[in-house]
Amino acid sequence: KQEVTQIPAALSVPEGENLVLNCSFTDSAIYNLQWFRQDPGKGLTSLLLIQSSQREQTSGRLNASLDKSSGRSTLYIAASQPGDSATYLCAAPAGGTSYGKLTFGQGTILTVHP
């Protein structure tokens, strides 16, 4: 059974800092790994999806890496801004017949203060 853990549970940083969010998973036989953003009271917005054959993906100030052998992924946010404040979730397929059956971590609550 896939288990996903995120560290830290919460993070508060001043604007402009570079930061790293960590995600670990127990079953390394994953098809992909995905990072989501969730604003309070809202649904999930997909940020980055890394296929199992890839090592990293980049979108703007975001960079996500994947190391299947160690069961880890990191989300790097460069030059953080107050608008980046949200909960960040990582998710990996739970196994079985579909990629959309995901196991999520508990999330990292990020606060970027001016």
Partner 1 sequence: GAGVSQTPSNKVTEKGKYVELRCDPISGHTALYWYRQSLGQGPEFLIYFQGTGAADDSGLPNDRFFAVRPEGSVSTLKIQRTERGDSAVYLCASSLTGYTEAFFGQGTRLTVV
| Residues near partner 1, by CB under 8 A | 4, 31, 34, 36, 41-46, 49, 89, 91, 94, 96-107
Can you read off the two tokens belonging to residue 59? 């979108």
Q: Smallest gap, in angstroms, from Cβ of residue 16 to partner 1?
A: 28
Q: Which is nearer to partner 1, 26 or 98 (CB)?
A: 98
Nearest-angstrom CA–CA distance, 92 and 23? 10
Q: Smallest gap, in angstroms, from Cβ of residue 79 to partner 1?
A: 27
Q: Which is nearer to partner 1, 3 or 67 (CB)?
A: 3
| Residue bearing tokens 């995600």 | 23
Question: Using CB atoms within 10 A of its CB, is residue 97 exposed (0-12), middle (13-18) or buried (19+)?
Answer: exposed
